[in-house]
Amino acid sequence: MVKKTARPHILKIKPYQPGKPIEEVAREIGVKEIEEISKLASNENPLGPSPLALKAIRKALPRLNLYPDGSGYYLKQGLSERLGIPPEQIILGNGSNEIIELIMHVFVGPGHNIVYAHPSFLVYRLMAHIFGVRGIEVPLGYFTHDLGAMARAVNAETQLVFIANPNNPTGTAVLRQEIEEFLDKIPPRVITVLDEAYYEYLPDSMKFDSLSLVNEKKVVVLRTFSKLYGLAGLRIGYGIASRDCVEVLNRVRQPFNTNSLAQAAALAALDDEEHVRRTLRVNRKGLERLNRAFQDLGLDYVPSFANFILVKVGRGQEIFQRLLQRGIIVRPMDFYGLPEYIRVTVGRPEENEKFLRELKKLLKK
Site for ligand PLP, rule CB under 6 A: 43, 95-97, 121, 164, 168, 195, 197, 224, 226-227, 232, 237
Burial of 31 (0-12, 13-18, 19+ CB in 10 A): middle
The least distance separating ligand PLP from the CB of residue 194, rounded to whole angstroms, comes to: 11
Nearer to ligand PLP among residue 275 and residue 343 (C-beta): 343
The least distance separating ligand PLP from the CB of residue 153, rounded to whole angstroms, comes to: 19
Question: At CA 364, angle to CA 361 and CA 365, rounded to 5?
Answer: 95
Nearer to ligand PLP among residue 224 and residue 354 (C-beta): 224
The least distance separating ligand PLP from the CB of residue 124, rounded to whole angstroms, comes to: 9
The least distance separating ligand PLP from the CB of residue 96, rounded to whole angstroms, comes to: 4
The least distance separating ligand PLP from the CB of residue 314, rounded to whole angstroms, comes to: 25
Residues 6+ apart with CB under 8 A from 132: 7, 9, 10, 110
Nearer to ligand PLP among residue 198 and residue 358 (C-beta): 198
Query: Using CA atoms in the order 64, 70, 75, 77, what is the torsion angle rounded to 10 degrees?
Result: -140
Which single residue brings its beta carbon nearest to ligand PLP? 95
Nearer to ligand PLP among residue 192 and residue 224 (C-beta): 224
Nearer to ligand PLP among residue 95 and residue 230 (C-beta): 95
Q: What is the 3-state secondary structure (H, E, C) of 223-283?
A: EECCCCCCCHHHCCEEEECCHHHHHHHHHCCCCCCCCHHHHHHHHHHHCCHHHHHHHHHHH
Residues 6+ apart with CB under 8 A from 160: 103, 104, 107, 108, 114, 115, 190, 191, 192, 193
The least distance separating ligand PLP from the CB of residue 144, rounded to whole angstroms, comes to: 15
Give the integer Cα–Cα distance in Å for 282 and 301: 20
Nearer to ligand PLP among residue 127 and residue 246 (C-beta): 127
